[in-house]
Copies of this chain bind each other. A is one copy, B any other.
Amino acid sequence: MPSTQPVTARGRETRERIIRAAAELVAERGVAGTSLDDVRARAQASKSQLYHYFADRDDLMRAVARAVTDDVLGGQTALFTQLDTVEGLRAWADALVALQHARRAKGGCPIGSLAGQLAEHDNGARLELADGLDRWESAIREGLERMAARGELRPDADPRALAQRTLTAVQGGLLLTQIRRDPNQLRIALDGALAAILAARTEP
């Protein structure tokens, strides 16, 4: 039995509630530490509702992966529009670091964290996360391309590579932040990525 898409408004709310509850629990305890009964309880739903809207546990986790990527990306949309200026890039980086301070360096990147837990086990989830990273990288790349279009980047600068490296700095920096419980790790990593972008600007 594949998962069913809700038809009524009530159904949509239920499905939504389940995903949200599952995402919260996964963030708190990890994929392995989250049982369907935990989800059921927090979502105030019944077992049949879970299996009405999701084929099985993996299907639910795939939906969680999608919701989490949407959340992570959604939380940055305002900052994404400013990624075509040095100040905008700085503001974006500062916000990421501030968030890690607020979270006391716990949890790392929700996307990266899920990657380690799902990528090798469920290919669908892997693709979902890959899509999230693509959107993230695209946002950075497009900012840099706008800078380039205004002639602020040297002709030999490669916005694609710069964006990819910035994203690896984010992910690597968050991993070190998480393991070392030190938000400064992300700060240092992002400083390096921004320095590379600064170095690619045209001489004034």
Contacts and interface: CB of A to CB of B under 8 A. Distances in A.
A22 interface: no
B178 A165 contact: no
Nearest to A161: B188
Given A29-B121, A107-B120, A113-B116, A172 B167 contact: yes
A1 interface: no
A133 interface: yes
26 contacts: A29-B120, A30-B120, A31-B32, A32-B32, A108-B116, A112-B175, A113-B116, A114-B116, A115-B116, A115-B179, A116-B175, A119-B179, A120-B178, A133-B176, A133-B180, A161-B191, A164-B188, A167-B172, A168-B176, A168-B185, A168-B189, A168-B192, A170-B172, A171-B171, A172-B172, A199-B199
Given A30-B117, A107-B120, 16 more contacts: A29-B121, A30-B120, A30-B121, A106-B120, A108-B119, A116-B175, A117-B117, A126-B181, A133-B179, A161-B188, A165-B189, A165-B192, A168-B185, A168-B188, A171-B175, A199-B199
Interface of A: 29-33, 106-108, 112-117, 119-121, 126, 129-130, 133, 161, 164-165, 167-173, 175-176, 178-181, 185, 188-189, 191-192, 195-196, 199
